[in-house]
Every structure is written in C-alpha cells, then in structure tokens.
C-alpha cells in the first residue's frame, strides 16, 4: 500500500494556559469537555483525530462551526501546533521540522485556500497569486509567468493587474485558489473556501473545482459545514463534532449508514437516491415472470451500478421497460414502477 | 520642612556629565542636525521662490485638490510678497529636519512595539509621559545639553514629535487583519517577509497619519523653539511681540497657519490617495 | 518681476488701532473682569498654606478609595512645595482654571449645538479643523495685539487654544448615544429639551469628562507658553532659566510644571475614563 500523502495520528489540540495539565488529566481520567473547561479553563479544539489521505484523494471534513475542523486543518501545515499527536506529510513528521524546513514545505508542498479569501488588498491579483513564489525568492519574470498560467487555469486571464477589491467574491476566491496552486503543491488545504459565497456562485465554483480537480489531481483536504458540498466533492468524508471525528467513509456510507443519531440528523435532508443502485431496486430477471413478453430490443438498458436518480430520470422520459444488465450486457433484472416507488419511499424516510 | 531636594543641582551635574562624557554623541547629533538643516535650506534657496510656490501648488492640486492649490498659491505668494520667504524656508528646513529625525526614531520603535510585548510595555508609559508634558518644558533639557540654535530646536521637536508616529505605527501594525498574517504564514513567509510585505504596507495609512502628526508637531515646536534661537517665522513672531509690532507679528502668524494647513492637507491627501491604490509602488517592495 | 509688497502690516496696524479705539470700552470690560476673576482665584489658592491645601486635595481621591491616584497626587504636590515653587504653581493653576473654566463654558454649549444642528456642525467643524492645525504660539499674537502684555491676553490665548477638544468631545459624546435609547425616550413622550437634559447629556458625560481633562491639560501647556507675554507663574521661571542660561532654575521650574500636570490630570481624571483619543495637536 502506498504511503498516504497526509496522515494525522492521534492529534489533540487543547487551548488554554494549562493545556498540558488538561491533556494529562484527559489521558488519565478521560474528562469530558465540560469538566476540562471547569477544572482547567481550557477548550478542546481537536480530540484524538486520526486519518490518512491517499495521494490524489479529496477528503472532506464536515462539521458545524465550533466543531474544530478549522483548527484541525491548520495542523496540517503547522499553523497550529498540536498538544499531542503527529502529523505526517508523505511519511515525514512535520512537527520535527525546523522553522526553515517548515517554511519550504509551506511554500512548495502545501497550498491553502481560506474561508474569507484572505487576499492581500495591497497587492495586485498577479502579486497575490505569486506571493508564495516571491517569498521563496523566485525572480519576478518566472513567478509572474507562473501566476499567469494559474490564473488562466481558474479562468481569470486578463485580470492580473487588478486589485482584489475590484473583483467579485467568486472571482476573489478563484484568485485564492490560483494562489494556492501557484507553486504546484502536492497538497491543497481548503478551509471552507466557498462558504462566504452566495449559493449560486458556490455551486458554480464547486463545479469548477470538480473539473479542476480532474485536471490537477491534488491531494485535497476540504473543510466544509455543508454536507451537500462534502458529498459532491469528496471521495471520502469525515464528520466532526466537538473536536472528534465521529464517522469517516465514502459519501454513500455516511448517508446510508449513519453511525449515530447526530450524523443521522444531518443526512436526513440528503436524497439517498444517488447512493442507491439499480441493483437494489430491481426485480430479479426471471423468464417465467413474463419476461418473455418483453422484447429485449425494445427496452432501455441500465447497468447494475447505475444510481436510482438516473433510472428515475429514464423512466420519466419514456414508456419503455427498463432492464438492468450486467457487465457482459446480460439481463439480470427489471425495474418496475413499484420498485422505484419503494426506493423513493425508503430514501425519504 | 525637610531640605529642598537638589533637583536643580542634580540637573546641572547631569548636563555637565553629558557635556563631558557623552560629548561625541552630542557633537554627532549637532553635526547631523546642522547638515540636514543646511541641506534642506540650500534646497529651498537653490530655486527662486516662485518656482517653489508653483511646485507646491502643483503637488497640492494633485493630492488635495484645486482649493488647497489655490490656497497655497495665494498663501505662499503672500509670504514671498511680504519678504518672509527666507524665514519660511528656514522654518520649513527645521520642520523637515525635525520630522525626518523623529521618523527615523519613531517608525522602527513603533515596529518594535508592535512586534515585542516587552518593548511595548516599556515604551507605552514613556510615550504617555512625553505626551502629557507641556511642550514648553522640552526646551529646557534641549538648551542645557545642546545650547542654542538648530540642534536644541530639533531635539526639542523630537521629544514632542516622536510619540505620535511611534504610537500610530504600532497601532497600525497591531490592527493588521490576523487572517492576512496567517495567509502569509501559510505560504511560507519569514517573519521579516511578513513585516515587510504584509504588515507595513497594510499599516501604511496609519503610518502616514503618524507622519502627518509628526510634521504638525514639528511645526508647532519649531515655532516655539524660536525662544532658543531657532530662526524663521517663529523668530519673526517673537521679535514682533517684543517690539509690539502688531502687523508684523500677525503677518508672520498667518504665514505659520498657511504652512500648517498646507502641510496637513497635502499629507492627508497623499495618504488617502496612495492607499486608494493600496500603496503598492510606494511601500517597501523588495524583489 | 517682483510685486511691490502689499502694505499688509500697516493696514493691520491701522485696523487694530481703529478697533482698539472704538472697542476700547468692551476690551476694558473684558480685561477688568478677567483680571479681577484671576486675582480672586489666585488669592484664594494662595490664601491657604500648602500644609492645608495638600491634605484637602489628596482627600478627594482618598475619599473615592483611589489610593494610587492619591499617592501620585501627594507626591506631585509635595514636590512642588519642596521646590519652593508653591506660589508660582498656584498662580499657574489659577490661570489654568480660569481659562479652562471659561473655555468649557463656551465649548460644551457649542458641542451640544454641533451635535443637535446640522447647520451649526457644518460651520463649527471646519473652524475647529483650522484651530487645531494652528500652532500654539500663533494664538499669542492676536491676544497681545488687543490686550497688550499681562495675564489677560494669556488667559484669552489659552482659552482659544483649549477650546476645540471639549467641543469635539461633547458633540461626539452626544452623537454616540444609542439611537434606540433616544427612540425609547421619545416614545415615552420626552420633549427635545428633556431628551437632551435627561438622556443625552448624562449618557455623554464620560466623553465630556475626557474633553474637560484635555481642555485642562492643553490650558496648562498654553499658560506656560503665555508667560512669554507676561502671564506670570511657573512659565516665567522657565523663560528666565532659558534666557539666563540657568539650567538648575529652568529644570526645577520644568519639573514643577510636570508635577502640576500630573496633579491636575489625576484630579480631573476622576470622573472620566482613560483618555482614549488625544486630539491632533
């Protein structure tokens, strides 16, 4: 198994003057957050977070405000030091790195996008994008060329010499993305990058990000408070609450098998149809059951793994019978209106 | 009643001590101030008055609008007309010398206050104290250590003109959005790079306000310093007061107000204008 | 090409001569009133010996249980006494109190006016801007022109110099009153006058106190400078020290000025908070 790009091992972050004592007490007595606050005046930011992100994977951490997700992401490039635990980038513990090495890592390997854009208002778009290259000491001609290239990637060619305040929110965040990509880092940290945008723009930027991710294929840690967004973008999702990662897995797992009531409450509003496959709703193919009366040539065929949402779309379009076929194009089942209704009923529950 | 505390005697001894043991320092200070002042004065004399007046009017137009430009044209024209151009040039040289030397102290000090809690906790009460003292008092140590003429005037000016830009620089840097600093950190900046590329440019308007205040304080003090031999418009006023020449005094007084308004409006206008473009070309941009 | 000088000086001289002759009685009245007031206050302040005055003054902060303030005040007052500059200091203080008191008498109403009327504000604001850009020294000139040399022009120049901060503080304080509170007061049927007296002014009081404090400190600064035009007191000693090159004398007087500044600051800081915004002077 290849080495993960990013790995967190039992990361704890406790805020407060007595963080060390508080941590010791937690380890010893297993205190809860209320007791920690009462006895030590400390706040638990991240509690025992462990996960690994594979190279090229988009990993979403989803949680409400105050859940500790923004604190956790800042451990990856050590903007925040953990109270305990390890963060590994390509297998190397970044807490063991010197200030110099850390700066190089930040400048070359890890790009970050911020919730409030955090573009530098006194620098042109080009100089914002080139910032990471500039602090590395790259000469102006090269860094401007690279900035222009990344701006083209986020469809902002021609805006190089404008200033951030002249751009709309969506455009500003595209600049933020270009800035994070400028140094061609291996890893992208995205801290609620689209949260501050209005819904239409957010949707549009999500689509653009999906397209872009297909091109640049960066290992991405994506923080969001929006489960829809996590499901749209993430290969895997982790749900965070009160500093803990309470469930981790592919989107369909989270939606179909919530680990506890908290997660269940979240996924309630999510349509499950996307995660149900044709296989789950079909009636088995049996020639006896009147299948002979169906002429295969006159049917719409769908694959076993097609999602139910698209099957419903097909059913709505035509009167034709829908036949489910396997990899070798052999009929294995038939989708009846009753089966579809059952699926809809189940997904709404 | 207990015996009088020998403050006066102690002060005299301190001055004697400084005069004896810190002489090189004192001489260096005198030399720097005289050279700077001389250079500025030479600059003012190197072009005829009308050229300067028109030049100032153009600058005023660019930064503070046509109203101030016309005001400058008329006001400075009046000073020239009244035979006060030489005195004006003297006053301006002193103001620029005092301001320059104050800023050389104030801006690094302000940065140090913003970046170090220790420096801040030491300097804050000192600045408080300097700012509550009546400005007249500053003349005494200046004269005691530096005698008469330009050097004590500049020294007295500095005691009054250093605190505002120091404070404003510190406040300006302290108010930089921490998210900007975090972003700069996330892209691998060193502390110096954050200071030079992010904090100082973003504190630019606060620092410019400090420069403005520094100039105003300098002007105020330079006029008072005529008491200890600083020439210029202040000396004209002093002479007019002692000779009870009402008209002369008032004209020189008007001259001072003209200078004050021009300096204030032009520097404020310049600050606003430069930060409107986000001060990109003017602030420290190292490659 | 050079214009002949405009005979501005002789015009001004003529104008002033005319004004002084025509307005003589008015100037006389102002002068007499001010000097009488000053004389009364000065004698009152000097009437009590330092060993009575000092405990009386220190009692104020003690009464409010502000021990550090009391200690600082005590030290400052004892220092002045010890330097044998008590009489001069009291003279300076009497000038400060008269000038600051009259200044406040004008400034607070003007500040209210500026806050309540847009027209008044549009006139007062730019005037204050110009006044605050004008260096202290310049205020001496018109005072001397009309009142000659002595305490009266000193008081007038000081009043003018110390006027802007309390005006700004008062108008800012009133403007900052929460509009919801004003709305509530109006809803309960307050008249405009009641609104001002019962709601706005009390709520603006902390700001006004800051203005009072600044006014007093600026008055002190100016009174010392005004010794140049014959307003006697500690400033006179400073000037003497400077002109006679008597460093000891000058420094002692300077230290006494600082002690007075600290004492006045502490005594009048009691009501307001820490002074947040120093005016641009």
| Cβ atoms within 10 Å of B212's Cβ, excluding its own | 23
Residue B268 host element (H or E):
helix B246-276
Q: Which segment of A320-324, B204-208, C123-127, C202-206 scores lowest on mean pLDDT?
A: A320-324
Phi/psi class of residue A86: alpha, beta or left (left: φ > 0; alpha: ψ in -120 to 50)? beta
CB proximity under 8 Å: B 155-174 to A: none
| C-beta atoms of B183 and A108 within 8 A | no
Residue C195, pLDDT score? 85
Does residue B244 belong to the interface with chain C, where contact is any CB pair within 8 Å?
Answer: yes
Region class of A234: left (phi > 0), else alpha (psi between -120 and 50), else beta: beta
- Do the domain assignments include residue B13? no
B-contacting residues in C 208-247 (Cβ below 8 Å): 217, 220-221, 224-225, 228-229, 235, 238-239, 241-242, 245, 247
The pLDDT tens digits of the residues spanning A205-257 come to 898 888 888 888 889 999 999 888 898 889 999 999 988 899 999 988 888 88
Q: Does B104 touch chain C (CB under 8 A)?
A: no
Minimum CA–CA partner of A132 in chain B: B187
Written as tens digits, the pLDDT of chain B (287 aa) is 567 788 778 888 888 888 788 888 888 888 999 999 999 999 988 888 888 899 999 999 998 889 889 998 898 888 888 888 889 999 999 999 999 999 999 999 999 999 999 999 999 888 887 877 777 777 887 888 887 788 888 988 888 899 999 999 998 998 888 899 999 999 989 999 999 999 999 888 889 889 988 998 888 888 888 888 888 888 888 888 778 777 888 888 888 888 888 998 898 888 888 777 664 433 332 22
- Contacting chains of C (3 CB pairs or more, <8 Å) are B
Q: pLDDT tier at C2 (50, 70, 90 boundaries)?
A: low
pLDDT at res. A256: 83
The four Cα atoms C139, C141, C145, C148 give a dihedral, to 10 degrees, of 90
pLDDT at B278: 61
Q: Do chains A and B touch (3 or more CB pairs under 8 A)?
A: yes
Question: In chain A, what are the helix, strand and coil shares in percent, each to the nearest 5?
Answer: 45, 25, 35
Chain A environment of B287 (Cβ under 8 Å):
139-140
Q: How many angstroms separate the CA atoms of A20 and C67, rounded?
A: 39
**A65 in Cβ contact with A76 (< 8 Å):** no
3-state secondary structure B108-176: HHHHHHHHCHHHHHHHHHHHHHHHHCCHHHHHHHHHHHHCCCHHHHHHHHHHHHCHHHHHHHHHHHHCC
**Residue A316 vs residue B2, higher pLDDT:** A316
Dist. CA C213–CA C80, nearest whole Å: 21
Among B187, B190, B279, the residue with its CB nearest the CB of A122 is: B279
**Residue A117 pLDDT:** 82
Residue A287: the pLDDT is 63
Contact list in C for residue B85 (CB cut-off 8 A) is: none
A123: pLDDT strictly greater than 70: yes
* Interchain CB contact of C186 with B (< 8 Å): no
Better-predicted residue by pLDDT, B177 or A347: B177
DSSP label at residue A68: S
Mean pLDDT of A320-344: 81
- Decide: residue A53, CB within 10 A, 0-12 exposed, 13-18 middle, 19+ buried: buried
Lowest mean per-residue pLDDT among A140-144, A294-298, A304-308: A294-298
Is the CB of B188 less than 8 angstroms away from the CB of A136?
Answer: yes
How far is residue B183's CA from residue A305's CA, in Å, rounded to a whole number?
43
Question: According to the model, what pLDDT value does residue B107 have?
Answer: 94
List b or e across A209-243, with b for residues whose CB sees 16 or more CB atoms inside 10 angstroms.
beebbeeeebbbbbbbbbbebbbbbbebbbbbbbb
Let me know if domain C10-269 sits in CATH 1.10.3720.10: yes
Does B287 contact C at CB distance below 8 Å?
A: no
Residue B222 lies in domain? 20-276
Which of B82, B140, B230 to mutate: most C Cβ within 10 Å?
B140
Question: Number of folded domains in chain B?
Answer: 1
Whether B256 and chain C come into contact, CB under 8 Å, resolves to yes
Whether pTM > 0.90 for this model: the answer is no
* pLDDT tens digits, one per residue of C79-96: 888 888 888 889 889 999
Residue A302, strand partner residues = A324
- Residue B207 C-alpha, separation from nearest chain C C-alpha, in angstroms: 15
pLDDT score, position C242:
80
Range in A269-273, B89-93, B179-183, C54-58 the model is least confident about: A269-273
Q: Tell me, yes or no, whether B1 lies in a domain.
A: no
Q: What is the pLDDT of residue A276?
A: 77
| Reported confidence tier of residue A72, pLDDT bands at 50, 70, 90 | very high
Chain-wide mean pLDDT for chain A?
A: 86
Kindly state the percentage of chain A with pLDDT values over 90. 24
**Model-level ipTM above the cut of 0.85:** no
Which residues lie closer than 8 Å to C95 by C-beta, 6 or more apart?
C38, C151, C154, C155, C158, C219, C223, C226, C231, C233
Chain C contact present for B126, CB below 8 A: no
Q: Is residue B234 part of a domain?
A: yes
C3 compared with A319, residue with greater pLDDT: A319
Contact B192/A at CB under 8 A: no
The domain that contains B34 carries what CATH number? 1.10.3720.10
Give the whole-number percent of chain A exceeding pLDDT 70: 95
pLDDT band at C50 (very low <50, low <70, confident <90, very high): confident
Is B189 in contact with A103 (Cβ distance < 8 A)? yes
In chain C, positions 77-96, which contact chain B (CB-CB < 8 Å)?
A: 79, 81-84
Over 80: is that where the pLDDT of C3 sits? no
The answer, for C11 touching chain B at a CB cutoff of 8 Å, is: yes
CB atoms inside a 10 Å sphere around CB B151: 26
Task: Give the B:C interface size as CB pairs under 8 Å.
Answer: 166
Instruction: Locate the chain B residue with the closest alpha carbon to C225.
Output: B136
B3 in any annotated domain: no
* B135 and C CB contact within 8 Å: yes
* Domains along chain A with CATH numbers: 274-348 (3.10.580.10)
- Residues on chain B touching A189 (C-beta within 8 angstroms): 186
* C205 and B118 Cβ atoms separated by less than 8 Å: no
What does the alpha-carbon distance between residue B259 and residue C17 come to, in Å, rounded to a whole number? Answer: 28
Res C21: pLDDT: 79
Q: What is the pLDDT of residue A61?
A: 93
Q: What is the mean pLDDT of chain C?
A: 83
């Amino acid at each position: 198994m290849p080495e993960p790009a990013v790995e967190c091992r039992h990361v704890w972050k406790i805020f407060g003057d007595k963080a060390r004592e508080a941590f010791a007490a937690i380890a010893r007595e297993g205190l809860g957050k209320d007791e920690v606050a009462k006895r030590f005046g400390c706040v638990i930011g991240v509690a025992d977070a462990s996960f690994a992100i594979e190279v090229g994977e988009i990993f979403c951490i989803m949680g409400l405000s105050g859940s500790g997700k923004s604190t956790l992401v800042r451990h990856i490039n050590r903007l925040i030091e953990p109270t305990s635990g390890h963060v590994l980038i390509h297998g190397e513990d970044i807490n063991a790195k010197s200030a110099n090495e850390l700066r190089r890592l930040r400048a070359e390997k890890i790009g970050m996008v911020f919730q409030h854009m955090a573009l530098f208002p006194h620098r042109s778009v080009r100089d914002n994008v080139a910032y990471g290259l500039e602090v590395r000491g790259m000469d102006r001609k090269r860094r401007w060329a690279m900035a222009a290239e990344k701006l083209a990637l986020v469809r902002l060619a021609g805006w190089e010499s404008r200033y951030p305040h002249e751009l709309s929110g969506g455009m500003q965040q595209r600049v933020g993305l270009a800035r994070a990509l400028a140094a061609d880092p291996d890893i992208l940290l995205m801290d609620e990058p689209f949260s501050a945008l209005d819904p239409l723009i957010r949707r549009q930027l999500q689509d653009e990000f999906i397209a872009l991710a297909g091109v640049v294929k960066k290992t991405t840690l994506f923080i969001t408070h929006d489960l829809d967004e996590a499901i749209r973008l993430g290969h895997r999702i982790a749900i965070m609450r009160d500093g803990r990662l309470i469930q981790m897995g592919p989107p369909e797992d989270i939606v179909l098998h919530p680990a506890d009531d908290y997660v269940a409450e979240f996924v309630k509003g999510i349509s499950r149809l996307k995660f149900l496959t044709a296989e789950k709703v079909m009636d088995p193919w049996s020639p006896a059951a009147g299948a002979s009366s169906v002429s295969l040539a006159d049917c719409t065929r769908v694959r076993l793994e097609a999602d139910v949402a698209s099957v419903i779309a097909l059913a709505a379009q035509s009167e034709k019978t829908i036949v489910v076929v396997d990899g070798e194009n052999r009929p294995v089942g038939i989708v009846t209106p009753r089966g579809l209704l059952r699926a809809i009923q189940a997904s709404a529950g | 009643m207990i015996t009088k505390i020998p403050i006066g005697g102690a002060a005299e001894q301190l001055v004697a001590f400084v005069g004896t043991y810190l002489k090189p320092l004192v001489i260096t200070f005198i030399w720097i101030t005289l050279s700077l002042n001389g250079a500025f004065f030479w600059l003012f004399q190197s072009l005829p008055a009308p050229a300067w007046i028109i030049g100032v009017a153009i600058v005023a137009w660019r930064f503070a609008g046509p109203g101030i430009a016309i005001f400058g044209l008329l006001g400075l024209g009046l000073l020239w007309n009244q035979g006060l151009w030489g005195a004006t040039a003297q006053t301006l040289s002193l103001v620029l010398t005092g301001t320059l030397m104050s800023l050389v102290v104030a801006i690094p000090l302000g940065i140090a206050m913003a970046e170090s809690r220790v420096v801040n906790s030491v300097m804050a009460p000192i600045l408080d104290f300097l700012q509550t003292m009546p400005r007249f008092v500053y003349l005494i140590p200046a004269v005691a250590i530096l005698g008469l003429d330009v050097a004590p005037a500049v020294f007295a000016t500095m005691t009054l003109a250093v605190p505002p830009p120091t404070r404003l620089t510190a406040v300006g840097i302290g108010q930089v959005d921490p998210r900007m600093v975090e972003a700069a950190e996330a892209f691998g900046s060193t502390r110096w790079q954050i200071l030079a590329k992010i904090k100082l440019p973003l504190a630019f308007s606060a620092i410019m306000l400090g420069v403005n205040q520094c100039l105003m304080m300098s002007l105020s003090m330079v006029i008072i310093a005529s008491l200890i031999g600083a020439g210029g418009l202040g000396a004209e006023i002093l002479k007019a007061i002692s000779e009870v020449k009402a008209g002369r005094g008032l004209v020189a007084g008007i001259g001072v107000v003209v200078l004050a308004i021009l300096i204030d409006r032009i520097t404020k206008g310049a600050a606003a204008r430069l930060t409107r473009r986000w001060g990109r070309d003017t602030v420290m941009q190292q490659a | 090409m050079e214009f002949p000088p405009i005979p501005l000086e002789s015009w001004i001289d003529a104008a002033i001569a005319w004004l002084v002759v025509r307005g003589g009685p008015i100037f006389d009245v102002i002068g007499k009133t001010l000097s009488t007031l000053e004389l009364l206050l000065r004698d009152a302040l000097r009437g009590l010996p330092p060993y009575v005055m000092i405990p009386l003054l220190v009692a104020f902060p003690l009464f409010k249980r502000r021990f550090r303030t009391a200690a600082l005040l005590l030290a400052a007052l004892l220092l002045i006494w010890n330097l044998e500059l008590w009489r001069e200091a009291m003279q300076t203080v009497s000038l400060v109190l008269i000038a600051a008191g009259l200044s406040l008498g004008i400034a607070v109403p003007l500040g209210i006016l500026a806050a309540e009327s847009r027209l008044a504000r549009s006139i007062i604001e730019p005037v204050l801007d110009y006044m605050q850009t004008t260096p202290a020294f310049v205020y001496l000139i018109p005072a001397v022109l009309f009142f000659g040399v002595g305490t009266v022009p000193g008081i007038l120049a000081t009043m003018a110099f110390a006027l802007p901060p309390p005006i700004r503080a008062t108008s800012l304080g009133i403007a900052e009153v929460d509009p919801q509170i004003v709305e509530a007061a109006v809803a309960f049927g307050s008249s405009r006058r009641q609104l001002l007296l019962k709601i706005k002014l009390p709520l603006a009081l902390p700001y006004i106190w800051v203005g009072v404090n600044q006014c007093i400190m600026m008055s002190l600064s100016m009174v010392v400078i005004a010794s140049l035009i014959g307003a006697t007191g500690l400033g006179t000693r400073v000037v003497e020290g400077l002109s006679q090159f008597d460093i000891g004398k000058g420094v002692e007087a300077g230290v006494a000025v600082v002690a007075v500044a600290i004492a006045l600051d502490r005594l009048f800081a009691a009501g307001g908070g820490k002074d947040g915004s120093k005016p641009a002077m």
